[in-house]
A and B are shown apart, each in its own frame.
Chain A
Amino acid sequence: MNISKWFFRLVHFFRYSSETSDIERVRRADLNIIFSINIFILGNLMFLARFSIEGESASRSIFLLPAGTLFIFLSLFLIKFFNLATLQTYLMLTFGTFIVFTRSHLTGGIVSAVTLWFVAIPILACLLLSLRHAVVWCGITLLSVTLLFKPEMIGLVKVQKSQDEIVHYLVIAIMLILTSCFVLFNEKERRSNEAKIKASEKKLADSHKLIALGSVSGSFAHEVNNPLAIINGHLDLLRMLSEKRQVNKSELDYSLNEMSENVKRIQGIVNSLRTFSTDDFFNHASLINLQKELPLYVKSKELELAISHVDMNLELPEEPVMIRGQLELVVRALDILLDNSLTEIKNQSYPWIKISVTKSQDRVLLSFTDSGTGITKDVATHMMEPFFTTKAADKAPGLGLNICQNLMRLHSGSIQYMEEAHNTTFLLSFPRHAPPSRAN
């Protein structure tokens, strides 16, 4: 059994058992890294103070404890702004360099400055936080320690040192090796556990989508099986009446009409779920004048808006605004935004929606704003994904904004949530087309 294995066993003893959860492991690894950084900072502080106050009143060393505590708390704040590895490197570089210069300044000896610099160089190794660099770091640090005891081995003159000073060098060197290994080991563990957590989060998200998919197919089956049952019932009835030779014209007409109505109903349900093929789209695309169509759209929604007491404000340019696409698909995209808005704002005391259209040289921009106060960042990040919903899955399968996004892509356009806007705003961008010339 070699020493490194014993060391890692010891480290493991202070860390966690095999039953510890992945999240707990990451948390403890974080704590261990913070702990190591702080031990290192404190050690360096002691070392620095040893040289700074040497020869002066020993009572000055009383400031060491508050200074060290301050640094511990400071590091906790700094961790919020940097990631752990970067912060650790910055701190080590800063202190390492500081010690070298203080030492050089106090003693004036180039040998000791160079020797101490050897302690700082391995700190650079920490930049990449890999095992290879750690080995180099340990090697160099050990070399530094050897140099302190046996400088004559490489032809250097032995500097007279007090026993105390040698002990300090030793303590710092060992501390460096231990903390670096500890940090590296924890960082490695932290990264591998973070990867595990991310993988399980993805699995969880996938299973949510499967649940949503199940719910969508459930609603779909329910919607389709009702008209199917009606059609099936009429077929059974006609079959029975025919066997009894009792079919009369009015009975037959009624059943046929019912069946036809229900076939149409199923067709509508299937169409609402059908994916849009690009070929279909281009075969049916035409020039649409938003300046003419949007007022008609708003008029068609008057009743719905009045029921929800929502004020609708439409701002349009005075001249025609042409885009190319399918009007019913553009209307569908607007319907989705309108439905979402109405759900969110209907309980406000003064709910309003504003649609405004502007045009640049090559784009037509339609901004859809409601009186809502915006969408949280978490929701905004995922809301365009299929089956993402903030409502119960059986209430809304979470397909609206994803369909909206696909519809916009079909129009070579895009939909964007305007994060910085004061109210909830979506910006729909279409390629701009020229109005048809009169000659055509």
Chain B
Amino acid sequence: MNKKILIVDDEPGLLKILKRLLEQFDYEVLTAESGFEAFDVLKANQEQVSFVISDMRMNNGDGLQLLSLIREKGIQTPLLLVSGFADVSVAEVKKLGAIGIMSKPYDIEKICGIIESNK
């Protein structure tokens, strides 16, 4: 059984293709279109979800809000932030508890590498 991955983005087209790509690597993928929705999904599937990929800028709860919400609840699932325009540094997001931040458009193999190294 492979890991369940939760991907969060307010761009449905992007969510769809990322899901499809990760499925090609045999990951089981859950999706959410906002930070708050992702928080609910994660709470419900805390045991199964082993990795979160979240967009930074979203209307209803952004990536950083999601990060602080799950860390406050003591959920330690690794979280990778992605952004079209990263205006925070890797060091900053690491301090907040994320694995790192990646710019869009991203390299799917690199993402898979990060997921594997955080098993």
Q: State the A residues within 8 Å of B (CB).
A: 218-219, 221-234, 236-237, 240-241, 258, 261-262
Partner of A226, one of B11, B20, B108: B11
Closest Cβ–Cβ distance, residue B113 to chain A (whole Å): 14
- Given the known A-B contacts A258-B17, A262-B13, are A233 and B84 also in contact in the complex, defined by CB atoms under 8 Å? no
- Give the chain B neighbours of A233 by CB distance below 8 A: 14, 17-18, 20-21, 105, 108
B76 at the interface (CB under 8 A from A): no
With both beta carbons as reference points, the residue of chain B lying nearest to A232 in the complex is identified as B105
20 A-B residue pairings within 8 Å (CB atoms): A218-B85, A218-B87, A219-B85, A221-B85, A222-B84, A223-B84, A225-B84, A225-B85, A225-B105, A226-B11, A226-B104, A229-B106, A230-B13, A232-B105, A232-B106, A233-B105, A237-B24, A240-B21, A261-B13, A262-B13
- Which residue of B is nearest A261, CB measured? B13
**Which partner residue on chain B sits nearest A227 by CB separation?**
B13
Residues on A with beta carbons closer than 8 Å to the beta carbon of B21: 233, 236-237, 240
9 extra interface residue pairs, beta carbon distance < 8 Å, beyond A229-B104, A232-B105, A236-B21: A218-B87, A223-B84, A225-B103, A226-B84, A228-B105, A230-B11, A233-B17, A233-B18, A233-B108
**B interface residues, how many (CB within 8 angstroms):** 18
Residues on A with C-beta less than 8 A from B11 are 226, 230
Which of A222, A224, A228, A240 is close to B57, meaning CB atoms less than 8 Å apart? Answer: A222
Take A228-B104, A233-B108 as given contacts and tell me if A222 and B17 are in contact as well, using a CB distance cutoff of 8 Å: no
> In the assembled complex, how far is the CB of residue B17 from the closest CB belonging to chain A, in whole angstroms?
4
Q: Which residues of B contact A (CB under 8 A)?
A: 11, 13-14, 17-18, 20-21, 24, 57, 83-85, 87, 103-106, 108
Q: In the complex the two chains form, is B84's CB within 8 Å of A224's CB?
A: yes
Q: Which A-chain residue is minimally distant from B55 (CB atoms)?
A: A226
Q: Which residues of A contact B87 (CB under 8 A)?
A: 218
Partner of B84, one of A229, A232, A240, A262: A229
CB-defined contacts of B57 to chain A, threshold 8 Å = 222
Per CB-CB distance, the 9 closest pairs between chain A and chain B, nearest first, are A225-B84, A233-B17, A222-B84, A232-B105, A229-B105, A221-B85, A229-B104, A225-B104, A222-B85
Given the complex of chains A and B, what is the CA–CA distance between A236 and B85 in angstroms?
21
Listed residue (B18, B20, B24, B106) with the most chain A CB atoms within 10 angstroms of its CB? B20
CA gap between A53 and B13 in the complex, in Å: 96
Q: Look across to chain A and name the residue whose beta carbon is closest to the beta carbon of B106.
A: A229
Closest-CB distance, B41 to chain A (whole angstroms): 21
Q: What residues of chain A lie closer than 8 Å to B14, measured between beta carbons? A: 226, 229-230, 233
Q: Which of these, B13, B20, B83, B105, contacts A222 with CB under 8 Å? A: B83
Question: In the docked arrangement, what's the CA distance between A241 and B23, Å?
Answer: 12
Question: Which of B13, B106, B108 is most buried by chain A, counting CB atoms within 10 A of its CB?
Answer: B13
For residue A265, which residue of chain B has the nearest CB?
Answer: B13
Bound CA span A226–B11, Å: 8
**Residues in chain A near residue B24, CB distance under 8 A:** 237, 240-241
What chain A residues lie within 8 Å of B84 (beta carbons)? Answer: 221-226, 229
Specify which chain B residues have a CB less than 8 angstroms from the CB of A218 in the assembled complex: 85, 87
Bound complex: CA of A227 vs CA of B17, how far in Å? 11
> Given contacts A226-B11, A237-B17, A237-B20, are A231 and B85 in contact (CB under 8 A)?
no
Chain B residues, CB < 8 A from A237: 17, 20-21, 24
In the complex, chain B residues whose CB is within 8 Å of the CB of A234: 17
Shortest Cβ distance from B108 into chain A, in angstroms? Answer: 5
For residue B23, which residue of chain A has the nearest CB?
A237
Nearest A residue to B56 via CB reads A222
Q: How long is the Cα–Cα vector from A223 to B85 in the complex, in angstroms? A: 9
CA distance A227 to B104 in the complex (A): 9
Whether A258 contacts B83 in the complex (CB less than 8 A), given A226-B104, A229-B104, A233-B21, comes out as no
Q: How many Å lie between the Cα of A398 and that of B64 in the bound state?
A: 27
B95 to chain A, nearest CB (A): 21
A23 to B53, CA, bound (A): 52
Residue pair A258, B13 in contact (C-beta under 8 Å)? yes
Determine the distance from Cα of A226 to Cα of B105 in the docked complex, in whole angstroms: 7
Give chain B nearest CB distance to A231 CB in angstroms: 7
User: Chain B: which residue is nearest A231 at the CB level?
Assistant: B105
State how many angstroms separate the Cβ of B7 from the closest Cβ of chain A.
11
Q: When chains A and B are docked, how far (Å) is the Cα of A219 from the Cα of B57?
A: 10
Chain A: minimal CB distance from B101 (Å): 13
Give the distance in Å from the alpha carbon of A219 to the alpha carbon of B85 in the complex. 8
Residues in B whose Cβ lies below 8 Å from that of A224: 84
Q: How far is the CA of A226 from the CA of B84 in the complex (A)?
A: 6
CA distance in complex: A218, B104 (Å)? 13
Q: Which residues of A contact B83 (CB under 8 A)?
A: 222
- The CA-CA distance from A221 to B56 in the complex, in Å, is 13
Q: Is the Cβ of B17 less than 8 Å from the Cβ of A230? A: yes
User: What CA separation (Å) do A239 and B85 show in the bound complex?
Assistant: 26
CB distance from A32 to the nearest CB of B (A): 48
- Chain A nearest CB from B78 CB (Å) reads 21
Q: Roughly how many angstroms separate A218 CA and B86 CA in the complex, as a whole number?
A: 8
Task: Give Cα distance in the complex from A235 to B69, angstroms.
Answer: 34
Chain A residues, Cβ within 8 Å of B106: 229, 232
